[in-house]
Amino acid sequence: MRAHQIMTRSVISVKPDTTIVDAANIMLQRHVSGLPVVDDNDKLVGVVSEGDFIRRSEIGTQRKRGRWLRFILGPGKSASDFVQEHGRRVSEVMTTSPITITEDTALAEIVDLMERNNVKRLPVVRGDKVVGIVSRANLLQAVSGLAKQVPDPTSDDDHIRDNIIKALEKTDWCPFGLNVIVRDGIVHLSGVITEERVRQAAIVATENVDGVKKVHDHLCWVDTMTGVYLNSPEDDGLAKAD
């Protein structure tokens, strides 16, 4: 399998001048742990993740180094730490020159990159534009939904997947972080919804795509005010069965 067969296409991104507070709120509300950072031309310039919020002055988690260690490291390192801990804009805390993949990158290579660089997500680029993102969650969904089936996704499955994504993305209620996996016409639908009625609408829209045999619902409901989330009834049922 390759990146385009499991990646999330509806990528939520921020600008370099987005405030830290706004970026944190977006991550909480959309239930994501990282965001690509793009400039005014939609060119990828960085990635901001939950790890960039660990050392922050607001919560008193700044690095505390002894005088001798500060002397050894020099003023440059202390200055960089100060920006990371007190910066107010995404550009001041983000990871620049992020590792990226293409739509044709094989899953084995994706996993190697994640492990080697200790990252949880990789932007998928076409040229210098972000067209998707592959996270550990996407890999988990692939394992959960597809591991018991022998054949690889066919060109027909890819066609079905593209049509499902097009059908959902043209609506004004499309789930956030929509991800669709198709194998032998069986669809695994995941993403975040903030209104329960969207669940049935998404399933119905998917069922109406030619070639779809069955739809598995993995859509997660999130309360945008509190960040509380609930798994889909199908996933809850499977968890109880286990």
Domain ranges of the chain: 149-241
- pLDDT of the residue at 5: 83
Classified as helix, coil or strand, 98 is coil
**Whether the predicted pLDDT of 239 surpasses 70:** no
What type of residue is 30? R
What does the alpha-carbon distance between residue 229 and residue 31 come to, in Å, rounded to a whole number? 8
What does the alpha-carbon distance between residue 164 and residue 182 come to, in Å, rounded to a whole number? 10
What does the alpha-carbon distance between residue 217 and residue 72 come to, in Å, rounded to a whole number? 55
Token code pair at residue 89: 């804009």
Phi and psi angles of residue 20, each rounded to the nearest 5 degrees, phi first: -60, -40
Phi and psi angles of residue 170, each rounded to the nearest 5 degrees, phi first: -85, -5
What does the alpha-carbon distance between residue 156 and residue 176 come to, in Å, rounded to a whole number? 25
Token code pair at residue 128: 């210098």
- pLDDT of the residue at 228: 81
Q: For residues 15, 132, 224 and 216, what is the CA-based torsion angle, rounded to 10 degrees?
A: 180
pTM: 0.60
- pLDDT of the residue at 202: 95
Sign of CA dihedral 203, 215, 230, 30: negative
Nearest to 221 by CA among 49, 11, 30, 34: 30
Task: Give the pLDDT confidence of 154-211 residue by residue, as tens digits.
Answer: 668 889 999 999 999 999 999 988 889 898 899 999 888 999 999 999 999 999 999 9
- pLDDT of the residue at 16: 94
What type of residue is 107? L
What type of residue is 214? K
- pLDDT of the residue at 59: 62
Structural fold of domain 149-241 = Histidine-containing Protein; Chain: A; (3.30.1340)
Task: Give the pLDDT confidence of 119-161 residue by residue, as tens digits.
Answer: 888 999 998 889 999 988 888 777 765 544 444 556 688 899 9
40-44, 67-71, 196-200: least confident range: 67-71
pLDDT band for position 60 (50/70/90)? Answer: low
Q: Using an 8 Å Cβ cutoff, are 130 and 38 in contact?
A: yes
pLDDT-above-70 percentage for the chain = 83
- pLDDT of the residue at 148: 47
- pLDDT of the residue at 9: 82
Pairing of strands 214-222, 186-193: parallel
25-39, 69-83, 93-107, 140-154: least confident range: 140-154
Q: Which of 31-35, 49-53, 159-163 has the highest mean pLDDT?
A: 159-163
- pLDDT of the residue at 150: 41
- pLDDT of the residue at 139: 83
Q: What's the chain's average pLDDT?
A: 83
- pLDDT of the residue at 142: 72
**Whether the predicted pLDDT of 235 surpasses 90:** no
